[in-house]
Amino acid sequence: YIGSMPGRIVQAMKRAGTVNPLILLDEVDKLGHDFRGDPAAALLEVLDPEQNDTFQDHYLEIPYDLSKVMFIATANVLDTIPPALRDRMEILEIPGYTRREKAAIARDHLVPKQLEEHGIDDKVLKITDAAIDLIIDSYTRESGVRTLERQIASVIRGTAVKVAEGQSGPFGVTNEDDLRPTLGPLKFTSEIAERMDEPGIATGLAWTSVGGEILFIEATRMHGKGKLTLTGQLGEVMKESAQAALSYVRGRARQLHLPEDFLENSDVHIHIPTGGVPKDGPSAGVTMMTALVSLLTGIRVRHDVAMTGEITLRGKVLPVGGIKEKVLAAHRA
């Protein structure tokens, strides 16, 4: 993005016509780096308040004062921003929209905008709040509203075709039957809290880039030699959490009224469903431990409780992030 034109920063100031403009550096996490140069190195000089009063523009070849400029950079992920550059930034985390916020944005902005762009009067087509909620839950998985807007546009185009064919309205979009002709079958189904009829299953909460999800963590044991098997496309951190959970249970066997050799002749298998989705992070530790204890003691876990937290070998539950999204997932389920 940056560095694709000579003197881009100075040109922006010239266009703004002021020495203290606001300059937005969009998608700073996607900086290129090739034989033409390294924009990150140039940005170090631009963004560092200690040295940007004598910014050397390579097009003009004269020092220029950028110290009065306000820079805002946007990024989707922090990891790809060079550490030296990240050091000079004040980082504000903005979480994705909640379901209710998306519905309000769709109702107040996206639907009127798309109706206008397709030349359809709002008296001809009425999209109900229930239909918008269904599109959000079952046809989109995102933190923003870009896909939501595209799906709404598809629904409105379906009506535009009917109008062009000579059908007169008014038309209404209220439920899945009305959405299916244009959007197809439901693309996503939200997990619903299940009643747990047997020991060895616990409900966990997970943070994803598109909001929170609930996870069911299952544990079972069979005849074997004390092996721990983990399945469900788990990352390294999650596998270590499972090992720690099992070690904690083994270390507390007496307090849990378990025979100390309970693993002598049996294998333990922990599985996290939705195996097609890679999962990682420490926050399932307490849920895995609960599922294991439930399995070994034969006591069922309450079906209306979901949990999240990193676990230590001493049984401490440590704090984790993404609480807003996780609470919303629990509420939805």
User: Hey, which residues are catalytic here?
Assistant: 283, 326
Burial class (CB in 10 A: 0-12, 13-18, 19+), 25: buried
Distances (CA, A) of 263 to 174, 244, 293, 313, 333: 55, 15, 13, 18, 35
Distance CA(245)–CA(251), nearest Å, equals 10
**Cα three-residue angle 325-329-333, rounded to 5 degrees:** 170
Residue 285, both tokens: 């530790």
- β-pair partners for 317: 311
CA 225 to chain centre: 39
Phi-psi map region of 233: left, alpha, beta (phi>0 left; psi -120 to 50 alpha)? left
- Name the strand (E) or helix (H) holding 211: strand 211-223
Strand, coil or helix: what is 243?
helix
Least Cα distance to 44 among 35, 52, 36 occurs for: 52
CB 213 within 8 A of CB 277: no
CB 89 within 8 A of CB 46: no
Q: Which residues contact 122 (CB under 8 A, 6 or more apart)?
A: 112, 115
DSSP-assigned letter for residue 266: E
